[in-house]
Structure 1
Amino acid sequence: MKKHIISGVKLTALCLVFFSGIYTLFILGIAQITPNKGKGEIVEVNGKKQYLNIGQSFTDTKYFNSRPSAVAYNAAGSGGSNKGPSNPEYLAEVQKRIDTFLMQNPEIKKSEIPADLVTASGSGLDPNISIQAAEVQVKRIAKIRNIDEQKLVHLITENTEKPVARVFGPEKINVLKLNIALDKLK
């Protein structure tokens, strides 16, 4: 028994030193060689710093809508809603998002709404939307801003991020980058 306790204490001490010290310093070292020293991608918009890697709320109809957040875009409290797909509160929330989207985009059918425009991501902070989610909003934005739809489609194409090594993950669009580029269109 004593032998197992001593082994357990040694393993605990070893893990404590490794994960609290060595591993942490290793990850910190890797972060220092990345752009912006591991602090994320930061852009300045109208004198305010914005993080490209954290979802932002865009609800104004003249902008591309972002993915909903279960944590109100608060990076300190990252997480999903933890409500299952059959939870009545969750279903009501999703239905409310669908109704709002259909009200803002009357020419779109309910079946054409991509899931990422009405459901929050697991972290609640996803800064990206799918290509389909951007394209389904083109008519509304073109009408409100009096911009040719083809210009918006081209803008979406220009801001599309390809999968890592063109294999891992889907194509996506960072909503903040897209909306910054949208504001620069004349």
Structure 2
Amino acid sequence: MRRYIQRENLLSGLIVAFFTFFIALVISLGSEALVRAVNSVILAIILLFLVIFTGICFDIVGTAATAADLPPFNAKAAKKVPGAKQAVKLIRNADIVANFCNDVVGDVAGTLSGAIGAGIVISLVDVLDLTNTVLLGALMTSFIAALTVGGKAVGKSIALSHADNIIFRVALIINWWERITGLELFSNRR
């Protein structure tokens, strides 16, 4: 039994790594192309904030999934409240939700924000004719790290104190998505 669990965890980790590689590749190429096409430091800074904010929001959802209470959503699902069935699935699959939201999206957002930050530094060096790129790069890295870590710290506090509400709002979005596309999230899961 233990060997099966280890093999299953290894396979799950490899699948996550495979999909993360391609998600990061597509998003990185897309954001890089967008920044180069517009060639605007202001737009790159806005994109940087958007990527950091996205990482923080997904971290909140992942944390809330692990902290939400299942019984209220079971009761709502029994009454056929829209979104309740999706909330139950999110909570029952909290390990997968947290892994995807906190790790996959969080790491992709962190990598992307670093790449965008490097692009901003290069653009600023060109525009302002600066010579000290090391200091500017260190400042940008520190700025990105402070925003990301500080934002996630605040986000975790929010997620823990409002977990049920956050999960229900996410479940309503998933319910809407499932009705429009006909694709069910966690269709073969608990």
Which has the larger share of helix?
Answer: 2
After TM superposition, the score normalised by the length of structure 2 is 0.27
Computing the radius of gyration from Cα coordinates, the structure with the larger value is 1
Q: TM-score, length-normalised on structure 1?
A: 0.27
The higher-RCO structure (CA 8 Å, 6+ apart) is: 2
